[in-house]
Each structure stands twice: as C-alpha cells, then as structure tokens.
Amino acid sequence: RAAEWQLDQPAWSGRLRITAKGSTAFIKLEDKSSGELFAQAPVEQFPGVAVEGVTDSSRYFVIRIEDGNGRRAFIGVGFVDRGDAFDFNVALQDHFKWVRQQSELARQAQDLEQGPKLDLGFKEGQTIKLNIANMKKKEGGAGSTRPRPAGPGGLSLLPPPPGGKSGSGERPAPLSTPAQLPGTPITDSLLSWPQPTAVPAADVWGDFAKASG
C-alpha cells in the first residue's frame, strides 16, 4: 500500500526512463540534472515480479532494482502526474507486445523450415503440354497453305475484298463467258480471252483465184 510510504519525504527524486535491449526492458532512474544513473530494474516479463502496482493507487509501483553483481532490492516509486503513470504502463505493455509478435513470427518461420519442401523443378524426361486456344493464322500469312479456288480454264479467282460478306457463307458464282456491257470493252487481263482475227469477206478465195491451172 502506497499509504504506508513516507510520500511527503521521498528518499530520492529524479526522472524515470525506459529503454529496451532485445526482449528485455530496463527501467532506469536517473538524476534529472546530470542524467547520472541512480538505479535500474531489468524487466523480462510484464506483468511480473520485476514491476508490480500497489493496491491503493494507480500512480505508485514496486520495482526490483539490480546492481549487476547479483544484488537485488525492492523499492517503491511513484509519479506526481497520473498521465506519467499511464505512459509508464503503456510503454511496458507495448514492448512486451512486440516481444510476443517477434516470438510468434520466429515460430512460424521455424515451422515452415521443418515442414516438407515442395520440389517444383522438372524431373528428367518430364514434359508439359500447353493448350493455347483461339489461335488463328493471319489471312495470307507466310505460313498459310490454303489453296486458292480456281475458276474455269485454270484462271485464279481473286479473294473477296476485306469489306465483303466473307462470313455469310456465300460463294462467288463460277465464271462463264465474260460479260460485256454495250460500248464497254473488257480490259481485265484475268477475264479476257484472245479474239480470232477476222478475215475480210471479199478476199476469202483470193489465194485460189491466183493459183495456176
């Protein structure tokens, strides 16, 4: 109980600082002017025997100080301001919360190392098959071996224009006699045939008339 202490005549007054090294927190009592260390209490667990709160106040605690040579002593400390006492509690709680998180992460990493490891490499002679869907060759590409349709007489028909209805299922009609509009000569070299040379009617028998006998 803090009421049993001589609160009006403290044996020492100064500043309190909390530091950490690894998983251990250190409560350091220092001179408020020079910073000289008066005493320190290593804390390895909180709550624990190294730091205990009193039963009649939230501003006073009992801490276990050590001199580094194995000697220990329990002393009572208190804060004038209640907010400083609250910060003292929170600082210790945050530190050991971090310690528990680090311990949990280390345990999970150890479990992963000890667990079975997946071998994702290829074995000797192992093959895989890739199924790539919707792969179409470009029309007219170098790798295309599709024959072009041939018309009558061995003439090659030109493919339909890109804007045509190639997907409707319609096919071009087979080419027959070249059609010629009145007054329009056929100039397409793919659709024209050589015309026989007309012989004048007046000279049909010319060669026979000149023959002797």
Q: For all residues of the chain together, what is the average pLDDT?
A: 75
Please name the residues in contact with 122: beta carbons below 8 A apart, sequence gap of 6 or more: none
For the entire predicted model, the pTM comes to 0.50
Please name the residues in contact with 102: beta carbons below 8 A apart, sequence gap of 6 or more: 23
Answer yes or no: are the C-beta atoms of 93 and 85 closer than 8 Å. no
176 vs 100, 189, 192, CA distance in Å? 93, 15, 11
The DSSP result for 113-130, as a single string, is HHSPPP--SPPTT-----
Domains and CATH numbers, the chain: 2-114 (2.30.29.30)
Helix (H/G/I), strand (E/B), else coil: 64: strand
Distance of alpha carbon 176 from alpha carbon 181, whole angstroms: 15
Token pair listed for 198: 């007309």
Residues 118-164 have pLDDT tens digits of: 667 777 777 777 778 766 555 555 555 555 555 555 555 566 666 55
**pLDDT-derived band at 189, boundaries 50, 70, 90:** very low
Residues 81-111 have pLDDT tens digits of: 999 999 999 999 999 999 999 988 888 887 7
